[in-house]
Amino acid sequence: MTTLEVWKTFEPDNYYKTFLDSNKRPDGRSLLKFRPVVVKTGTVSTAEGSATVRFGHTTVVCGVKAEIATPTLNNPHQGFVVPNVELHPCCSPNFTSGLPGIQAMELSQFIQSVLTSAGVLDLADLCVVPSKYSWCLYCDVVCINYDGNVYDAALVAVMAALQDVKLPKLTYDEENDKATVALQRTLPLSIKSRPISSTFTLYSDTIQLADPTAEDESQGSGVTTVVVREDGSLCYLHKPGGRAVPTTTLDSLLLLAAKRVKKINDVIAKAGQDVD
């Protein structure tokens, strides 16, 4: 063990604060610098659409599986989008096996709320025959390696996977009341909005840390996730407890988040381009 490792082990708070006093973090980043983002689509061959996303060492995979379902009585002209996030012990010792934990359930609800608030998909586009047949898209997100900020990584993975989806053509024979699904997947989804989130750990009233690592999260007193549309407008704000955020601070976080939207969407778009 080096001297720094011993110090970190026995005095983690002082070790971390020493870096912040120099306006940087143990990983070398400045306080408001984000980690590099890597997106690869089509990484799960058995899914209708998929993506693998890396935020630094945090790695998540999203696979979208499409199944034929019956529309509900209240919404006979709509299909379904069902996100589900899994955080297993293999990605971090902070998680346990068995039933989904609180953070996994919060993440699933977060993605569902963002997809709905931003209007990413028109659910009517997923309906093939009203009251009879519609598509149900299961967006399964699995964290492979957890090093903080799984909110942003999971949302980017879902958005990239949805833009990678190709559905088979479903035809309906009304006379025989029979549906037929084509073997080839050729129909892309019509994406109406492309929201991107930016997460910040709140260390104090004056110190915010962008794109927190697991160490940043453990030292902070709560996180704030700002979701922004392509035009820079606020789409959704996620603040699960912790330190209160002053209005002026929130305004500055919104500006930082708005600057990232086009950059991340460009990375997603390039990941989905055909390579000759």
CA distances from 60 to 148, 152, 201 (A): 11, 10, 20
Residue 253, pLDDT > 50, answer: yes
> pLDDT for 56-100, tens place per residue?
999 999 999 999 999 999 999 999 999 999 999 999 988 888 778
Parallel, antiparallel or unpaired: strands 80-86 and 133-145: parallel
> pLDDT for 192-213, tens place per residue?
999 999 999 988 888 899 999 9
Mean pLDDT of the 145-161 span: 97
Can you give the pLDDT at residue 79?
97
Residue 47, pLDDT > 90, answer: yes
Contact, 42 vs 165, CB < 8 A? no
**What is the band of 276 on the pLDDT scale with cuts at 50, 70, 90?**
very low
Contact, 56 vs 213, CB < 8 A? yes
The model carries a pTM of 0.93
Contact, 128 vs 134, CB < 8 A? yes
**What is the band of 16 on the pLDDT scale with cuts at 50, 70, 90?**
confident
Can you give the pLDDT at residue 275?
40
